[in-house]
Structure 1
Amino acid sequence: MRIIVCCTLGLFLLTEVHAQSQRRPTFTCGGNITGESGVIGSQGYPGVYPPNTKCVWRLMVPEGKVVVLSFRSIDLESDNLCRYDYVDVYNGHTNGQRLGRFCGTFRPGALVSTGNKMLVQMVSDANTAGSGFLAVYSAAHPHERGDQYCGGRLDKPSGSFKTPNWPEKDYPAGVTCSWHIVAPRNQIIEVKFEKFDVERDNYCRYDYVAIFNGGEINDAKRIGKYCGDSPPAPVFSEGNQLFIQFLSDLSLTADGFIGHYKFRPKKFPTTTMPPTTTTPLPTTRATPLKYSAALCQQKCKRTGTLESHYCSSNFVITGTVITAVTRGGSMYATISIINVYKEGNLAIQQAGKTMSTKIVILCKKCPFIRRGLNYIIMGQADEEGRGKIAPHHFVMAFKAKNQKSLNVLKTKRC
């Protein structure tokens, strides 16, 4: 009797395994996908994706509905700017606005098209790393009041945007809203938040509003990333387009926000810094530095020592310059962090074991930094967490012999 039961159980398990293998979809390189919902994945998922490929999926749901795309898994070669292996998501099938570019293992929130079509493209170079991606799509009614779908193109001279459910109840969990604001070519855009309440976190890792110059999610053009219950200061675009993304994760939510925008003449005078530095510091912290021609006309010579600058600086780090882009009179740099000695309110992002931050060298050649080199950086940070480095701040090449001095300073009380 035991033998019969054992054999029957074994046969059942084999049948179940075979059935599961039959149910598992086989993912190929791209295709035209239609229907109310479905699943797409990188070629060979969950196996390692092949090198030197470009795969395009064209998604189409019934007319009158929008496409909602949610990544269930993403594992591609990691790079701060997603230059090597990446997934692009576009609104529509041809000449559509790019909704985002993704790589590494960070899973974005839901992406929503404005029409019934969406294009997903995955590109890999000669070197691969990871199992690719798995995503599900579904059809939804556009911009349903009280539902999670929101966003769209805003091209009137002024208007408002707000989180789903505002002001009746909290915004829902697990959503992404993207607003693309487009002004005439000779104008810029001003954005102000009237009310603002988004889950608080020191690094805005969970729920946040991110604002980008241009018409897409591009980390190199990010103006700021905001959360908490204090409205950000007014934001001004550099050109005639802004992209605003709101993302909530699957846990805590809050009241949300309502914001207003209006178009301004291109030469509209502002009292704030360029858009990357619009958020002022509280009076209890150091006053944010303002860019001016006079600031950059000062003689560029480092004064003082590690010790004399340590206590007066809001943050102290050592790191490698990964990117350095000149815009206007300033240089915008991404720093891969070696060590943090004094964090202050500097926004630090972490992907796996790699930490990075963004700083602005207010006068692009003072102090002068070069991509690929290591530095000790001491400076101030505004409330959005971006570091500001003026000529009188302390920046020097980082060498192993400096490690001991910094460790001693870290233990001292200012």
Structure 2
Amino acid sequence: MPSSFSCSVWKRCGDGRCLLTPAPLHRFGSLCSFCSPTFACGGNVTGDSGVIGSQGYPGVYPPNTKCVWRITVPEGKVVVLTFRFLDLESDNLCRYDYVDVYSGHVNSQRLGRFCGTFRPGALVSTGNKMLVQMVSDANTAGSGFLAVFSAAHPHERGDQYCGGRLMKPSGTFKTPNWPEKDYPAGVTCSWHIIAPKNQIIEVKFEKFDVERDNYCRYDYVAIFNGGEINDAKRIGKFCGDTPPAPVFSEGNQLLIQFLSDLSLTADGFIGHYKFRPKKFPTTTMPPATTTQPTTTRPIPLKYSAALCQQKCKRKGTPESHYCSSNFVITGTVITAVMRGGSMYATISIINVYKEGSLAIQQAGKTMSTKIVILCKKCPSVRRGLNYIFMGQTDEEGRGMIAPHHFVMAFKAKNQRAFNVLKTKRC
């Protein structure tokens, strides 16, 4: 929060407050008056509205710091946080300098992690508290962030506020402005649905129209098992104008996230949820990015078992596998989950040499994709390491890697050698 104001030849505004800019307050001939806040490292912030910023903003933020802001607005309202400026060290996974935003003060849902210069839409808490945490490592780059917060009524109509905690046995959720007009640009909404311990959640979309893109990179709805945004627990990612098939949770919590970027918008959606007994047969969809309802074609188990019995030994070279592969990418394994005899991995993409029909998601400058390694130990990959992946795709655009496909560790020094693949003719 602003701890003081440093003004150069300044004059107070008519209502006795300084503008939170810096911006000219008054002009006397050629003389401009400025007033800018000085920000401390974290703090407790209360009230109907306010401004927080990184330590020293708009100067370069200091290294090796961890600053925490605890925002509280009046009871019965939610916190709406909007980033006016964001400039932190850029990294695909935001591993070094980053801002985390949580819905609540303790053991709460993370609404997102941000770095670089891509500003998210408005972030909305499920209650009257929000926590913002900024972490920097030994090497800093940038001016940090400036954000404003305000108190709002949950599900306020005709505005950009949406989301919340849903705990009734059934209910409805919808995009801002529905159905009068298109949803706004630059919106982030998160609905956290919580059922009793012995129940699951069914979600159906009645109407659905979200900006279409083959990979749902711009505007989308993502649904997660559990109460936080976690790619390893993502059930699906949807856009386009066809309502997704019904979704069932694995446990008693679901998180539905809607995001629109700063360009095109569409009609939006209205969805309904209800609690079901846990014994109700579920048909949860696998992680996917789709503009159509998702239908699951499971990996043939006998086929996978037969594959995994053969000796695991890499054969050939990237050049010899290039033409027979549907996709060729280099990337970092950021999540790896075992299901049955296969490994389901999320890959943060470093470079794309051959896209094929691989479904690639994009958020800002970060691209990622889903890959299934049919035999979890062949080829063997580890989370956090970089690899080149060459394989096939299924009907939903997921990468499929079998033992006879080509996977090897990737190092930056090999980049030039791999670049020749892009010029290879098949």
The normalised TM-score by structure 1 is 0.80
Aligned-pair distance for 1:29? 0.7
CA distance in 2, matches of 1:360, 1:334: 10
Aligned-pair distance for 1:110? 0.4
In terms of fraction of residues, the more helix-rich structure is: 1
Corresponding residue of 1:8: none
Aligned-pair distance for 1:235? 3.0
**Aligned counterpart in structure 1 of residue 215 of structure 2, from 182, 198, 203:** 203
Corresponding residue of 1:117: 129
**CA deviation profile, 1:251-279 (whole Å, cap 9, x unmatched):** 32211112233334556544565x31496
1:368 has 2:376 as partner: no
Are residues 281 and 209 of structure 1, via their aligned partners in 2, closer, same or farther at CA, if it must alter by over 3 Å? closer
Q: Is the 8 A contact 2:242 2:293 kept in 1?
A: no
1:299 has 2:327 as partner: no
Q: Is the 8 A contact 1:337 1:357 kept in 2?
A: no
Say which SS state the counterpart of residue 88 (structure 1) adopts. strand
**Aligned counterpart in structure 2 of residue 39 of structure 1, from 35, 48, 51:** 51
1:331 has 2:324 as partner: no
CA distance in 2, matches of 1:236, 1:391: 29
Corresponding residue of 2:362: 349
CA distance in 2, matches of 1:381, 1:164: 35
Say which SS state the counterpart of residue 298 (structure 1) adopts. helix
Q: What are the within-5 Å matches in structure 2 for residues 1-400 of structure 1?
A: 13=30, 15-16=31-32, 19-20=33-34, 23-266=35-278, 268-270=280-282, 275-277=286-288, 289-291=297-299, 293-300=301-308, 301=310, 315-329=326-340, 330-349=343-362, 351-352=364-365, 355-371=367-383, 372-383=385-396, 385=397, 387-389=398-400, 391=402, 394-397=405-408
In terms of fraction of residues, the more strand-rich structure is: 2
Are residues 271 and 41 of structure 1, via their aligned partners in 2, closer, same or farther at CA, if it must alter by over 3 Å? closer
User: Which amino acid in structure 2 is aligned with residue 147 of structure 1?
Assistant: D
Aligned-pair distance for 1:119? 2.2
Q: Is the 8 A contact 1:234 1:279 kept in 2?
A: no
The normalised TM-score by structure 2 is 0.78
CA distance in 2, matches of 1:241, 1:78: 32
Q: Is the 8 A contact 2:225 2:250 kept in 1?
A: yes
**CA deviation profile, 1:333-371 (whole Å, cap 9, x unmatched):** 31423333233252142654x644332324423443344
CA distance in 2, matches of 1:190, 1:279: 19
CA distance in 1, matches of 2:407, 2:70: 50
CA distance in 1, matches of 2:293, 2:221: 20
**CA deviation profile, 1:231-254 (whole Å, cap 9, x unmatched):** 223333343322111122333221
Q: Is the 8 A contact 2:248 2:284 kept in 1?
A: no
Aligned-pair distance for 1:26? 0.8
**CA deviation profile, 1:162-201 (whole Å, cap 9, x unmatched):** 1123233322333222100112334433323232101122
Q: Is the 8 A contact 2:321 2:406 kept in 1?
A: no
CA distance in 2, matches of 1:106, 1:389: 31
User: Which amino acid in structure 2 is aligned with residue 34 of structure 1?
Assistant: T
User: Which amino acid in structure 2 is aligned with residue 52 of structure 1?
Assistant: N
Aligned-pair distance for 1:393? 7.0
User: Which amino acid in structure 1 is aligned with residue 255 of structure 2?
Assistant: F
Are residues 153 and 172 of structure 1, via their aligned partners in 2, closer, same or farther at CA, if it must alter by over 3 Å? same
Q: Is the 8 A contact 2:127 2:164 kept in 1?
A: no
Are residues 71 and 222 of structure 1, via their aligned partners in 2, closer, same or farther at CA, if it must alter by over 3 Å? farther
Sequence identity of aligned pairs in percent?
Answer: 69
CA distance in 2, matches of 1:247, 1:279: 15
User: Which amino acid in structure 1 is aligned with residue 124 of structure 2?
Assistant: V
Aligned length: 389
Aligned-pair distance for 1:134? 1.0
CA distance in 2, matches of 1:60, 1:85: 25
Provide the aligned C-alpha RMSD in A: 3.5
**CA deviation profile, 1:310-335 (whole Å, cap 9, x unmatched):** 6776x412313332422323331314
Say which SS state the counterpart of residue 302 (structure 2) adopts. helix
Q: Is the 8 A contact 2:358 2:399 kept in 1?
A: no
Say which SS state the counterpart of residue 231 (structure 1) adopts. coil
Are residues 268 and 282 of structure 1, via their aligned partners in 2, closer, same or farther at CA, if it must alter by over 3 Å? closer
Are residues 64 and 268 of structure 1, via their aligned partners in 2, closer, same or farther at CA, if it must alter by over 3 Å? closer
Aligned-pair distance for 1:87? 1.8
Are residues 243 and 351 of structure 1, via their aligned partners in 2, closer, same or farther at CA, if it must alter by over 3 Å? same
Say which SS state the counterpart of residue 275 (structure 2) adopts. strand
Corresponding residue of 2:5: none
Q: Is the 8 A contact 1:323 1:335 kept in 2?
A: yes
Stretches of structure 1 that go unaligned for 5 or more consecutive residues are: 1-10
- Larger deviation, residues 392-401 vs 122-131: 392-401
